[in-house]
Amino acid sequence: MSLRLRLTLWYSTVLAGVIFLFGVIVYTILSASLIGQIDLSLKAAAEDIIRASSVSQVLDIQIVNIPPDLDRFGGPNVYAQVWKTDGTLVNQSGSIGAYSDPFDAHGLAESYQSRRDAVVRGVHLRVFTLPIITSGGTVVGYVQTASPLRTVDVAKSILLIVLVGGGVGAVALAALIGWFSARRALAPLETITQTALQITRADDLSRRIPMAEPPQDDEVNRLRMAFNESLERLEKLFNAQRRFLADVSHELRTPLTAIRGNVDLMRRMGEADPTSLDAIQSEAERMSRLVGDLLLLAQAESGSLPLAHDLVELDTLLLEVCSEAQVLAAGVTVGIGEIDQAVVVGDRDRLKQVILNLVSNALKFTPEGGRVTMGLALAAGQWVRLTVTDTGTGIPPGELSHIFDRFYRVDKARSRTLGGAGLGLSIAKRIVHMHGGRIEASSEGILGRGATFSVWLPLSQARSPAETRKPVERKQERA
Ligand code: ADP
């Protein structure tokens, strides 16, 4: 069953229920009030007759004296009968004609007033019975007044027709309006479905669902927005994937071309040329570095990179990296500025890889005579900030937001000659994230003013590894 049909059925049923309930209430109240009016007038007529009557006692016999003309009590539509307790008719109004049975035989068997409906000669009557009681409390007879219910019955029938007819008409009209308004309301969903199908068929993620004009803040529009946002994200991911694949192929092809060129050269020369062999070796090394980096990145991104949870003394690690970097630095001074003691929880080797990567970048982009300074400072809120600052080329501010992207290099040609594939910083970013920290770069992009890379890491709650060796060991056992 379609949503449109379900909606229409649902509110038609609710409307029918409400109208039915309303109809029953109106019908009941109206009938009761009409009958109530008639009962009042019948009672008044019966009481008038009793008031105009008298009871006299001769010896043991009680005689009821009734006014002779009963037609003058009540209106023209009120008939009256007076009965003795033994079932003898004492008198009745002339308008009845030759009718000698009680209007309501049950009423004559009761010692209290009663009201009933009765059918007399095919006429629907309302009958009121009032016992005639002496001052001593004895029932000596009954006055029965009756009135035809024709007007009431006609009124009730008309009301019933109006209620049923009106109700059915109203429900049918509501269903019709509901059916068409549901179509209007659901039409945007159909557009969304069609667009989604087109996207699937054409494999075109650049399509978007057209937004409503003028913009509305309703459920359908929110669905459109959510759908378009998902599409945008999918498109970005898809493009990034495609770009990544193209970058990987390109990066792998460059060393392969170099290797093939050198092999060709040697074949033509007919001997193993040491320069060509060196080139082949360096290109093969570059390739295996690249493949290694790619594997690491893939593992880090899929969350399958194993990470130790040891207590790491960052200050010691920084000193270690500094002395290693000093060996590599050709003509660049590597030193340590401010250094605080800091212990973090994490993987020592991976953290060392991050710092080494930052320092080797700094060395790569800092000309001779420059300086690379490392620092470690405790920051507010249980954080530690590790910095690597250089006095090199710097990074143009517009490029800063991209340098952590995979394969991104500010100066492609230059970076490649320096041996970089543009994966170092994205790996560093991943590793830092996996440690619950964040990495940032700042630079004015001016030669000589260099760049500063900052890594924020959450401090371990323990101050030194020795202090908490036990809990950590327990943690590892649990892991
Ligand atoms: P690469 O392997 O090319 O160094 P990275 O991901 O480590 O790749 O760095 C990306 C790019 O960011 C580099 O190619 C370079 O353009 C820029 N970059 C990184 N560190 C520095 C720095 N200290 N000074 C200037 N540019 C830098």
Cβ of 108 closer than 6 Å to ligand 1, yes or no, is no
- Residues 175-188 have pLDDT tens digits of 999 999 988 888 88
Cβ of 432 closer than 6 Å to ligand 1, yes or no, is no
Q: Do 99 and 31 share a domain, yes or no?
A: yes
Task: Give the distance (Å) from ligand 1 centre to CA of residue 373.
Answer: 17
Q: Do 236 and 270 share a domain, yes or no?
A: yes
- Distance from C-alpha of 351 to C-alpha of 458, rounded to nearest angstrom: 13
Cβ of 415 closer than 6 Å to ligand 1, yes or no, is yes
Task: Give the distance (Å) from ligand 1 centre to CA of residue 409.
Answer: 6
| pLDDT attached to residue 479 | 34
Q: Do 114 and 36 share a domain, yes or no?
A: yes
Q: Is residue 196 part of a domain?
A: no
Q: Best mutation site among 353, 361, 387, 402 for ligand 1, i.e. most ligand atoms within 8 A of its Cβ?
A: 361
Q: Best mutation site among 366, 403, 416, 447 for ligand 1, i.e. most ligand atoms within 8 A of its Cβ?
A: 403
| pLDDT attached to residue 419 | 65
In this prediction, residues 317-338 reach a mean pLDDT of 92
Q: Which residues contact 444 (CB under 8 A, 6 or more apart)?
A: 394, 397
Picking from 155, 176, 201, the residue at the C-terminal end of a domain is: 155
Q: Do 63 and 98 share a domain, yes or no?
A: yes
φ, ψ at 123 (rounded to 5°): -105, 130
Q: Best mutation site among 355, 390, 411, 425 for ligand 1, i.e. most ligand atoms within 8 A of its Cβ?
A: 425
- What confidence tier does 243 reach under pLDDT thresholds 50, 70, 90? confident
Instruction: Provide the CATH number for the domain around residue 377.
Output: 3.30.565.10
Task: Give the distance (Å) from ligand 1 centre to CA of residue 361.
Answer: 6
φ, ψ at 288 (rounded to 5°): -70, -30
Q: Do 336 and 459 share a domain, yes or no?
A: yes
Residue 477 has pLDDT above 80, yes or no: no
Q: Is residue 127 part of a domain?
A: yes
Q: Is residue 209 part of a domain?
A: no
Nearest CA to ligand 1 atom 23: 362
- Distance from C-alpha of 76 to C-alpha of 71, rounded to nearest angstrom: 8
Residue 204 has pLDDT above 60, yes or no: yes
Residue 83 has pLDDT above 70, yes or no: yes
- What confidence tier does 474 reach under pLDDT thresholds 50, 70, 90? very low
Question: In total, how many domains does the chain have?
Answer: 3
Nearest CA to ligand 1 atom 8: 422
In this structure, the dihedral spanned by the alpha carbons of residues 176, 177, 181 and 183, taken in order and rounded to 10 degrees, is 10
Task: Give the distance (Å) from ligand 1 centre to CA of residue 315.
Answer: 24
| pLDDT attached to residue 420 | 74
How far is C-alpha 175 from the geometric centre of its chain's CA atoms? 29
Q: Do 317 and 261 share a domain, yes or no?
A: no
Picking from 302, 334, 362, the residue at the C-terminal end of a domain is: 302
Task: Give the distance (Å) from ligand 1 centre to CA of residue 364.
Answer: 8
**Closest atom of ligand 1 to CA, residue 427:** 6
- Residues 394-452 have pLDDT tens digits of 999 999 999 999 888 887 766 666 667 889 999 999 999 999 999 999 999 888 899 99
Cβ of 70 closer than 6 Å to ligand 1, yes or no, is no
| pLDDT attached to residue 472 | 38
Cα first-last separation, the chain: 52
Q: Do 256 and 352 share a domain, yes or no?
A: no
Count the neighbouring beta carbons within 10 Å of the beta carbon of residue 92: 21
419 vs 298, which has greater pLDDT? 298
CB distance 408 to 365 below 8 Å? no
CB distance 67 to 55 below 8 Å? no
Instruction: From residue 149, give the alpha-carbon distance in Å to each of 35, 72, 78, 138.
Output: 8, 20, 11, 32
What percentage of residues in the chain have a pLDDT greater than 70?
Answer: 94
Q: Which domain holds residue 460?
A: 310-478
Cβ of 132 closer than 6 Å to ligand 1, yes or no, is no
Task: Give the distance (Å) from ligand 1 centre to CA of residue 318.
Answer: 20
Picking from 302, 322, 337, the residue at the C-terminal end of a domain is: 302
| pLDDT attached to residue 468 | 44
Q: Is residue 210 part of a domain?
A: no
Nearest CA to ligand 1 atom 13: 409
In this prediction, residues 92-117 reach a mean pLDDT of 85
